Amino acid sequence: MVYHHVSRRTFLLGTGGAATLLLTGCGSTSDPISTAGTLDFANSLNIPPLAPSTVATNGTRVFKLTAEAGSSRFLPGGRTPTWGYNGAFLGPTLRARRGETVRVAIENALEEATTVHWHGMHLPAIYDGGPHQVIAPGDEFAPECNYSGPRRGWLIFPAGSGCLGCS
């Protein structure tokens, strides 16, 4: 192993330069920066509606979702092919009470395999989707677990075989 001698001057200049770079822009200002009310968004943020659910005789809250193809208009002048749950794009909001057992029955009505990845929900890894958990066309996947996570919302979206495991 070869050691190179670093002079005190080189060390101090290097650490001083690094500190200067790290602290650039970290100074306080008397006027806070805010963009509230100053940005113009062309498209509104659409919050997905609540999904209907039923409660089975054993107390399990059951949601039924269908992965399906559709088309959506994001910009003027055309439509874009999209996938969604119970609709053309994204999916509904699932609401359950902490401590409830929840089952989400997902039917794949797409013409190709898909998977589901849950955002905002703590659940066993075996249910969290990805290439190890493909739902073939026409098949159903119905994970069931106790909802005990601290997060409040779930966001799911279908992923095609071209990007299994993407999120």
According to the model, what pLDDT value does residue 31 have?
A: 66
- Torsion, Cα of 159, 160, 161, 167 (10° steps): -30
Amino acid present at 96? A
53-160: CATH class: mainly beta
pTM over 0.75: no
User: Rounded to an integer, what distance in angstroms lies between the CA atom of residue 135 and that of residue 159?
Assistant: 10
According to the model, what pLDDT value does residue 58 have?
A: 96
According to the model, what pLDDT value does residue 49 have?
A: 87
Ranges of residues in the chain with a pLDDT under 70 are: 1-6, 8-32, 35, 43, 120-122, 149-167
User: Rounded to an integer, what distance in angstroms lies between the CA atom of residue 75 and that of residue 43?
Assistant: 8
According to the model, what pLDDT value does residue 3 have?
A: 57
